[in-house]
Amino acid sequence: MATAHLGAILCCLCGKSIQPNSAALCGECLRAEVDITENIQEKGLKVYQCRKCLRWQGKNDHYVPCQLESLELLALCLKRIPGLSKADIVDAAFVWTEPHSMRIKVKLTLKRDVLNGVMLQQEKVVEFVVQWRQCSDCNREFTNQTWKAVVQVRQRVDHKRTFFYLEQLILAANAQHRAVDIRSLKDGMDFFFAERAHALQFADWLAGVVPQRSTKSKKLVSVDNHSNISNEQLSLRVDIVPLCKGDLVVVPAGGGKGGGAAHLAGCVSLVANVTSVVQLLDPTTLRSAELTPDRFWRSPLTPLASASSLIEFTVLDVEPVRGAGVTAATAAAAGGACVLAEAEVARSADLGANDDTFTVTTHLGHLLQAGDTVMGYDLRGANFNDAALVGLRGDLPDVVLVRKARNREGRRHHKRRVRSLAPAADGGEGGGKKGGRGGDDAGGDAEAAQYEDFMREVEEDEEMMQQLGMTAASAANAADDGDGEGGDGDELAAGVQAIALDAADDGGGGTAALSSEAL
């Protein structure tokens, strides 16, 4: 079978022998006659970069971070070239320029059908001029409008153990990563956010970890009457309940109304733990209750004494209480977490000076032995606010024991590696996400001492270390490298969480079991 062969033709312009095509032109003549890049601007194109944050302006005035000669910057430049839709992009690449020249060159390889299936491919270098243009975020910073919402966290107490715990929780969860600024104040911290949604999300997270109430307020910054657009700043005030672990309180008689905590009404109780609720414990009966934030603010409790009033006692004798109504099953259910006992104690400072001793009913029977030291409150002759004693049944005890004293002998004190959100309180000035704690003044030294005591408690409590995302090694590294007696820093919380209440409401003695009841 014969095969047909197409003969060669001559280019109509230069006379060169070529294969037949619809244009009857050779490649050189076709490129000379047709320019597929003529609609593409070669020079004068502009790209904008923020001088401060070095981000590049993209679509809809949105600034994105890009490195020089990166794919992201190449895509941004291609979007700024008009006329590219009429040709197919075969290749695009940067042409090297001096970094300080404020010029960016992109080499384009384009292909297009020019005449009845004849494809033409050409290259062209497009030059961009880099110009400075301030982004909206940096503009707000220079005009003192860096934030749109602030979360003001406050706790009105003379010590800040709950706030220290909250600070470490925030760091462990990285909940502050969207804050544009953090400022430390005397009684709290301010978290500034560029978006209202970020502030509301942070406030919701706080509500799940500490008992608090929040209030909102708005401040009008500017308004455009022509477009009816206003610029407002949102302030969220978050008040943490003024109770810390180890505080001594009296639950008023009305506090149990409707809350199922009548068994604690009028009793002197200890704050066992502060999480999203306040956990209370009666150290003389091992009964407990949970105080929700709403019920607390409806009937606030005023602490009789706090951790700053703790003094050291020496245990002379301990005898577990085995009263009627406490069965063997109840004692087994307690698991030894809290054991009711009668302890004979004396103030450590008075040993050898006088013979004053006290017989105390305590929840620390599982921890104390003769010769141990324990921290507690000496209530003899103390003056209290009448509001704090409303509803008290009976008389105040002379002594209330709170926790076993930590053995600090043999510890090698080293400089602590502090995990802090912001610098120490400075009256409201300053900011930043990094800083230390304490200072040269007396207030800073007192706060540093409180923080040191808090971190030692964390170091000795495995459950708290897990909540804060720490390991035993990291907690020891954050505190010091010494050896000390641990495991006794969270007796109240361990008791509330480990025991279920099955003792009679009449109190009974002995090793009772606890449950958490809502106030």
State phi, psi for 277 to the nearest 5 degrees.
-135, 165
Mean pLDDT by 10 residues, the chain (519 residues): 68 79 75 78 92 91 92 93 84 92 93 76 92 87 80 85 83 89 87 92 92 91 83 92 87 59 77 86 86 85 84 91 48 54 90 86 88 90 72 81 73 55 48 46 69 77 70 51 42 42 39 36
Task: Note the pLDDT of residue 484.
Answer: 40
The distance in angstroms from the start CA to the end CA of the chain is 103
Task: Note the pLDDT of residue 45.
Answer: 93
Task: Note the pLDDT of residue 433.
Answer: 44
User: The whole model's pTM is what?
Assistant: 0.63
Max Cα separation, the chain?
A: 131
H/E stretch holding 360 reads: strand 358-362
Task: Note the pLDDT of residue 131.
Answer: 95
Q: Are 278 and 222 in contact (CB under 8 A)?
A: no
Considering just the CA atoms, what is the radius of gyration of the chain in Å? 37
> b/e string for 444-459 if b means 16 or more Cβ within 10 A?
beebbebbbebbbbbb
Q: What is the pLDDT of residues 84-136, one digit of tens each?
A: 877 888 999 999 999 889 999 999 998 887 776 677 888 899 999 999 999 98
Those residues with Cβ within 8 angstroms of residue 23's Cβ, 6 or more apart along the chain or in another chain: 30, 114, 115, 116, 118
Residue 164, number of CB atoms within 10 A of its CB: 21
Q: Are 76 and 66 in contact (CB under 8 A)?
A: yes
State phi, psi for 298 to the nearest 5 degrees.
-70, -35
Those residues with Cβ within 8 angstroms of residue 367's Cβ, 6 or more apart along the chain or in another chain: 404, 488, 491
Task: Note the pLDDT of residue 441.
Answer: 56
Task: Note the pLDDT of residue 144.
Answer: 66
Residue with the two structure tokens 């897990």: 466
Helix orientation angle between 442-459 and 161-173, rounded to the nearest 10 degrees: 60
Residue 23, number of CB atoms within 10 A of its CB: 18
Q: Are 292 and 519 in contact (CB under 8 A)?
A: yes
Tokens of 436: 């230390």
Q: How far is CA 277 from CA 195, 240, 266, 468, in A?
A: 29, 11, 20, 18
Q: Select from 174, 191, 173 the least CA-distant residue to 182.
A: 191
Q: Which string of DSSP letters, residue by residue, matches 76-127?
A: HHHTT-TTGGGSEEEEEEEE---GGG-EEEEEEEEEEEEETTEEEEEEEEEE
User: 281-290+301-406+488-498, what's its fold?
Assistant: OB fold (Dihydrolipoamide Acetyltransferase, E2P) (2.40.50)
- CA 151 from centre of chain: 12
The β-bridge relationship of strands 45-49 and 118-132 is parallel
Q: What is the pLDDT of residues 13-35, one digit of tens each?
A: 787 887 777 777 777 787 777 77
- Dist. CA 362–CA 283, nearest whole Å: 5
Q: How many CA atoms lie within 13 A of 217 on its CB side?
A: 6
Task: Note the pLDDT of residue 149.
Answer: 93
Q: How far is CA 225 from CA 222, 234, 402, in A?
A: 10, 21, 62
State phi, psi for 162 to the nearest 5 degrees.
-65, -40
Q: Please state the domain extents for the chain.
A: 37-136, 151-222+229-240, 281-290+301-406+488-498
- Dist. CA 243–CA 247, nearest whole Å: 7
- Dist. CA 279–CA 497, nearest whole Å: 9
Task: Note the pLDDT of residue 344.
Answer: 92
Task: Note the pLDDT of residue 391.
Answer: 67
Q: Select from 420, 407, 418, 381 the least CA-distant residue to 485.
A: 407
Q: Select from 427, 453, 452 the least CA-distant residue to 437.
A: 452
Q: Are 168 and 419 in contact (CB under 8 A)?
A: yes
Task: Note the pLDDT of residue 76.
Answer: 94
